[in-house]
Structure 1
């Protein structure tokens, strides 16, 4: 090998080595930028979460205008709402709120509204034997409540005298009137249709059996079938409100108002239950009038022009085992004791388990 060949070989080696060094530096720079960007994004996400979290003082200020909104005509339920709030310590509510910040992408206002809806749901679960859960988002609040097992147990015992369990709806289906019954009871208690958190309210008509039962069945039998035994006064008032709504539905004095509502529904793309200019006290009588008179339900409720599909259950259930030892209902309806309160849910404790003991 001559001297020129050796020099060329050495030069080639040096160039290759330099090229590899440059590639290594470029690769290292790319990796460094990627790591720093990921770290920066993580820090920003952490800062965002920490910014969205609230102290007890901030939370208290934020919920001042978000009370449960009990229907003023249901005076007896107001005391139950006050008992729920008294049983739900501010510190526990803040812990649930901040867990929602950590575990979801929801903003502050949405989380606060979901917590209010979960309170309304639990109030219904303390009254009724069957309360299907029709909102995945509200159910998420319930999941976060259950994370604080001791606080949840303390809340339930203070509010109802027993546990409100989170129970699977094993077959994953709801009864024919489960959703309409939920919407009706919600409207009676809170004076309005369930909000967007619950999907589409009053989307399906009550069955003929449901209408006959609530029109003709004695109050005592309705109370025994639908209500838990520990809130007799509230149950009696709700049944009376339902009977009064049926009286309105069959009264000649309200027919002209119903006809006007019918025309509004036909002209508007907004369902009648969501129209702000409609007297909310006429919603249930109008629905009963529509069903009793065999009018087209979708047309009368304003769904004929809407492209909305019926909402579905989250598949989760609540069950309230209040006043242990009073006998009564199976796990499918929620409880092994007198005030069973079920709601369809796919995640949670089994019947009789103590959610708050661990």
Structure 2
């Protein structure tokens, strides 16, 4: 029997490698594929104009000479790096969770003068590179990042590939409570850049997140898993936001089980994390005691 088990493991590993190696990047969208958030198109256009064609041409040439990429992969990495730059202009904290996107950012930094010109044109100050040295993301921070990403951008399989998946880490219930209950000015103080020149976009994003937060519902595990399965088959990844937040809010401690995630990936299956103390906050009357998530 032992050899049968070993054979099964070997076959599974071979199939896993074949699937991983066979992934193909489709043609990337000509635009950043953004959601209809007020001011986001203007912000996106401004960021694009801040990147000179000669600068980005030099970056692409450097990357293609030094890294072996799959067909169309460079354009998808660039798309997600541009999306990340948008996040940095809105969020108080915006960690980098993709090694491949971060690698492209590093290549941009090699052109010091051009990068400095881009930063000042786009943000008015230098956008400093903070390498993500942690092998595994901070679960609570990553969960919030995925929520914001899903509100701003349409998610495709290529984005999932570059970020090694979305919705694998829960959003602490206290953060969801904040968006259900707190006024805009307090949310800006907790989560967003209060001096952002794109405040109209921040306010529109907050409005979208509030609407999503109010849709959370205590679904049965089987219902959640069926919802996620259907949306995955339809490749409608943005529609996973509500079930993702629902499990985060009502079943934070059982997130991995509900979402069928291995304990090796999600730390929520072994510990509650910072959101555990707020798992009982199920109404606006108690949200003030939850505090802010600080993400």
TM-score w.r.t. length of structure 2:
0.70
Asked if structure 2 preserves the Cα contact closer than 8 Å seen for 1:177 and 1:210, the reply is no
Match of 2:206 among 225, 239, 243: 239
State the partner residue of 1:309: 265
Please tell me whether residue 178 in structure 1 is matched to residue 141 in structure 2: yes
Q: How does 1:65-214 map to 2 (within 5 A)?
A: 65-71=29-35, 73-168=36-131, 175-192=138-155, 194-214=159-179
> 1:105 Cα shift?
1.4
Asked if structure 2 preserves the Cα contact closer than 8 Å seen for 1:118 and 1:141, the reply is yes
> 1:119 Cα shift?
0.7
Asked if structure 1 preserves the Cα contact closer than 8 Å seen for 2:97 and 2:137, the reply is no
- Distance in 2, matches of 1:135 and 1:172, equals 11
Match of 2:241 among 284, 294, 297: 284
> 1:310 Cα shift?
5.1
Aligned residue pairs total 238
- Distance in 2, matches of 1:81 and 1:260, equals 37
- Matched position secondary structure for 1:120: helix
- Distance in 2, matches of 1:170 and 1:109, equals 27
Please tell me whether residue 222 in structure 1 is matched to residue 187 in structure 2: yes
TM-score w.r.t. length of structure 1:
0.59
Cα 1:149–1:242 change in 2 (3 A) is same
Which is further off, 209-218 or 113-122?
A: 209-218
Q: Report which of the two structures shows the higher radius of gyration computed on alpha carbons.
A: 1
Cα 1:242–1:68 change in 2 (3 A) is same
- Distance in 1, matches of 2:263 and 2:250, equals 25
- Distance in 2, matches of 1:63 and 1:88, equals 21
Higher relative contact order (CA 8 A, sep 6+): 1
> 1:134 Cα shift?
1.0
> 1:214 Cα shift?
2.5
5+ residue gaps, structure 1, are 1-61, 312-342, 344-358
Please tell me whether residue 263 in structure 1 is matched to residue 220 in structure 2: no
Cα 1:98–1:189 change in 2 (3 A) is same
- Distance in 1, matches of 2:181 and 2:139, equals 19
- Distance in 2, matches of 1:247 and 1:141, equals 37
- Distance in 1, matches of 2:123 and 2:224, equals 40
Deviations 1:50-93 (A, max 9, x none): xxxxxxxxxxxx9883421111x313211100111111111111
Asked if structure 2 preserves the Cα contact closer than 8 Å seen for 1:200 and 1:310, the reply is no
- Matched position secondary structure for 2:127: strand
Root-mean-square deviation (CA, aligned residues, Å) is 3.2
State the partner residue of 1:249: 216
- Distance in 2, matches of 1:289 and 1:114, equals 30
- 4+ residue segments displaced more than 4 Å: 168-176, 258-261
